[in-house]
Structure 1
Amino acid sequence: MKGLYIGSTGPWAGKNLAAMAVGLWLQREGLRVGYMKPLGARPKTVDEIVGDEDAFFVQEVLGLEDDPALVTPVITPANLRTCSLADRKNEMERVREAYETLSRGRDIMLVGGCGEFLHSGRHAGISGPALVRRLGLKALVVDRYDGALHYDALLGYREVLGDALAGVLFNDVPEDYLRDAEEMLVPYLSEHGIPALGIVPRDRLLNAIKAVELAWRLGGRIVSGNRESGRIVEDFLIGTMQVDNFMSHFKQHANSATIVGGDRTDLQLVALEGQCPCLILTGNITPDEIIRTRSEARGVPVIVVREDTYTVARKMEEILNSQKLRELVKIRRAAQMVDNTMDYPALKAQLGF
């Protein structure tokens, strides 16, 4: 029986995406696939059983129905006062027993990481490297572009893991960085014993969010355009410039929500006439009747939030970067993108099949 640990250089990098895509591919290859996520950071209760939200979802996509207590034997408490960290010095044996139980009758186990590969889980003795060593796993590391790719971290992982590092999957790489990644970074990492198994290009749809969920995440309320609250937001613009400049800038960014002060009726009208998918008004200022009427006519939801424009823009960036794959259309699209780029034969060889 083989085992593959899926870790990452940071949070929200695409570990779940990799687990689902790889798991579905292995199943199509006729292999019996199991899954676990030893450390959970997003507690969720289903039928009075506590598990990890991400683990529940990955299991559902892979068609698995294993006991959540085995799938995620260690859950980080939301409130530290409810559990002493000192009592969690070493949870490795509990994880190992769960792994052995889940692996019975399976050809391969996928082990999902939590947070950053090197450090997350150290308080419980179940960091990524510790799990790879104790359970005899290979490791696939997902590295998501966030202004750069993290080759120094990957070199460090190679030093720690040696040949147990099966390779790296680069994720969310923008078009203007793809050539550098392919022609410079991939050969460099290969020389240092780190196979680059794939480069997934950026796709705005995968980080998109519905306006109604965006309102909830921002702590705001939709005051008009409710019938179109399911519109998709892929990016955002900040309306703090002159109207003429804003109009030309706005036309170049389709499907971008517009964040603008509640007192800037002029920019609000420009955004509405330009068919922005969502208008976000800051400063807790309710729009006037003209804006409400136009938003209803154009089918553009208007969200009112309390914070200032700068604060809301920072929240928006975090929300879009941390979007979880939860919709079936996104999962299919993302899995196909991974399939298009992943060197599955090389991964299979690394696993020893």
Structure 2
Amino acid sequence: PPDESMNIIETEHDIDTICPVSITPNYYIDNIDIEQRTEYTEKIKKAYEKIKQDCDMVIIEGTPNFRYYCRVGLDDVTIAKELGIDGIYFILDVSTDNFVDTLLFTKKYLDFREMKINGLIMNQIDFDYVERVKELQKKHIEKYDIPLVGIIQKDPSLSEPTVLEIMEGIGAELINNPPDESMNKNVKSILVGAMDVTSAMKYVRQSVSAACITGGDRSELILATLESNVSVIILTGYIQPDIS
């Protein structure tokens, strides 16, 4: 089936063009020589040239850290220079004052590599830390001549899939006919029903909008869980429960 993320970003390019090179985290230092590095770099450049033909702007996501793949010459800064890019946007997801240290360290490194920070984006920031970021912006960030492009507050719903999304993700089959609104319920936690009913129900009652995973032969636990506030019960083992 087509990759759903391709629909989200609305592109006609296939995944091999969007991500032309994939490097495993282990043994790449031994496996990537100068010839392989050149091949990977050319693949990335070719994909970039193809994508940018019909785009006003191309966003290139880097690795989780500037250090990654530095030893083999495939780190973010090296690739950016190969593509003719002279500035980047730095994204941080830290809700402590330590982000200022990280920003300063990164700026010094990028200055050394002759790469400009076009802007800072604070991502997944805790609600109670947003004002602190604004305060530090005036006292510290502006001193480094780095624009604060935006602050994206942490949204718990992004990590709370719906029942329908879980069902589609694991290829599950419905064994009852719930109302449509039940399929749109969010799942906020996961419970594994491996205990006896009495012990398991202590956790079930304390949870809110949970997905309970248990064997299809655990009829007593299934019946007890149906009377609770769980969003969905996921049965394993390809066993249909006997709840007669």
TM-score grouping bracket, smaller chain normalisation? 0.5 to 0.7
Residue in structure 2 matched with residue 103 of structure 1 by the alignment: 52
Q: In the aligned structure 2, how far is the partner of 1:176 from the partner of 1:225?
A: 42
**1:62 offset after TM fit, Å?**
3.7
**1:118 offset after TM fit, Å?**
0.4
**1:126 offset after TM fit, Å?**
2.7
**1:203 offset after TM fit, Å?**
1.4
Query: CA 1:230/1:61 → structure 2, altered by over 3 Å: closer, same or farther?
Result: closer
State which structure, 1 or 2, has the greater radius of gyration over its C-alpha atoms. 2
Q: State the identity %.
A: 17
Q: SS state of the match for residue 295, structure 1?
A: helix
**Does the aligned pair in 2 maintain the 1:157–1:165 contact within 8 Å?**
no
Equivalent of 1:201 in 153, 173, 187: 153
Residue in structure 2 matched with residue 337 of structure 1 by the alignment: none
Pairs within 5 Å for 1:248-327: 257=190, 262-263=195-196, 265=198, 268=201, 271-272=204-205, 276-278=208-210, 280=212, 289=220, 291-298=221-228, 300=230, 301-302=232-233
Residue in structure 1 matched with residue 134 of structure 2 by the alignment: 182
**1:140 offset after TM fit, Å?**
1.1
Q: SS state of the match for residue 171, structure 1?
A: strand
TM-score, normalising length from structure 1? 0.50
Residue in structure 1 matched with residue 239 of structure 2 by the alignment: none
**1:172 offset after TM fit, Å?**
1.2
Amino acid at match of 2:136: M
Amino acid at match of 1:134: E
**Does the aligned pair in 2 maintain the 1:175–1:201 contact within 8 Å?**
yes
The structure, 1 or 2, with the larger RCO (C-alpha pairs under 8 Å, 6+ apart) is 1
Q: In the aligned structure 2, how far is the partner of 1:102 from the partner of 1:266?
A: 56
Pairs within 5 Å for 1:51-130: 57=5, 59-66=6-13, 68-76=15-23, 84-86=31-33, 88-90=36-38, 91-113=40-62, 115-122=63-70, 125-130=73-78
Residue in structure 2 matched with residue 136 of structure 1 by the alignment: 84
Residue in structure 1 matched with residue 186 of structure 2 by the alignment: 232
**Does the aligned pair in 2 maintain the 1:268–1:279 contact within 8 Å?**
no
Amino acid at match of 1:151: V
Query: CA 1:94/1:132 → structure 2, altered by over 3 Å: closer, same or farther?
Result: same
**1:191 offset after TM fit, Å?**
0.8
Query: CA 1:277/1:112 → structure 2, altered by over 3 Å: closer, same or farther?
Result: same
1:161-185 CA-partner distances (Å, limit 9, x unpaired): 3462111111111122222222125
**Does the aligned pair in 1 maintain the 2:95–2:126 contact within 8 Å?**
no
Query: CA 1:232/1:269 → structure 2, altered by over 3 Å: closer, same or farther?
Result: same
Unpaired runs of 5+ residues, structure 2, are: 237-244
Residue in structure 2 matched with residue 18 of structure 1 by the alignment: none
2:116 is the alignment partner of 1:164? yes
Q: Per residue, is there more strand in 1 or in 2? A: 1
Q: In the aligned structure 1, how far is the partner of 2:11 from the partner of 2:196?
A: 52
Amino acid at match of 2:58: M
Q: In the aligned structure 1, how far is the partner of 2:25 from the partner of 2:125?
A: 32
Aligned residues: 225
Q: In the aligned structure 2, how far is the partner of 1:183 from the partner of 1:225?
A: 53
**1:139 offset after TM fit, Å?**
0.9
Q: In the aligned structure 2, how far is the partner of 1:226 from the partner of 1:278?
A: 19
TM-score, normalising length from structure 2? 0.67
Q: SS state of the match for residue 60, structure 2?
A: strand
Unpaired runs of 5+ residues, structure 1, are: 1-44, 47-52, 237-256, 306-353
1:186-207 CA-partner distances (Å, limit 9, x unpaired): 6312212222211111211112
Q: SS state of the match for residue 89, structure 1?
A: helix
Q: In the aligned structure 2, how far is the partner of 1:117 from the partner of 1:293?
A: 48
Q: In the aligned structure 1, how far is the partner of 2:225 from the partner of 2:177?
A: 9
